[in-house]
Amino acid sequence: MNNKKPVTVNKVNHFETFVNTHPLRNYVIIHQTDEFTSVCPITGRPDFGTIIISYIPGKICVELKSLKYYLQSFRNEGIFYENVTNRILDDLAGLLQPKWMEVKGIFSKRGGLFSTVIASHGRKPGK
């Protein structure tokens, strides 16, 4: 009765990029997903959250679809809140070499506690 299909989402560390058409202008791009999920490395149970990535592009921008696949690739990976936020920042900043980048992870309630982690790279111009 069901259309079952084995799912094998492998961890993705490379992204598609495109050339920034306004490299001289310090403008901000924000991508947000409220469909982030990973797995608690201790209990093996799923975690859910919202990831907000903000950056001022340098020479290149990340392509939206490959960013989606990258974020989905954490689905079956066991990783702590602090690590996942810092790792997304490391992966994206390493690739894009942005003028400034911030990653914010807002994770759903566990044991009566909400957790948020905010990490940034570089200095936001004009601040």
Q: What does the angle CA 88 – CA 90 – CA 77 come to, to the nearest 5 degrees?
A: 40
Verify binding: residue 5, its own copies, rule CB under 8 A: yes
| Count of Cβ atoms closer than 10 Å to residue 85 Cβ | 23
Give phi and psi for 70, each to the nearest 5: -60, -50
CB of 92 to its own copies, least distance (A): 14
Verify binding: residue 61, its own copies, rule CB under 8 A: yes
Residue 47 annotated as catalytic: yes
User: What are 34's two structure tokens?
Assistant: 């409220």
Verify binding: residue 45, its own copies, rule CB under 8 A: yes
Where does residue 126 fall: left (phi above 0), alpha (psi -120 to 50 degrees), or beta otherwise?
A: left
By CB under 8 A, name the binding residues for its own copies: 1-7, 9, 20-22, 25, 27-35, 37, 39, 41-42, 44-46, 48, 61, 64-65, 67-68, 71-72, 75-80, 82-83, 85-87, 108-120, 126-127
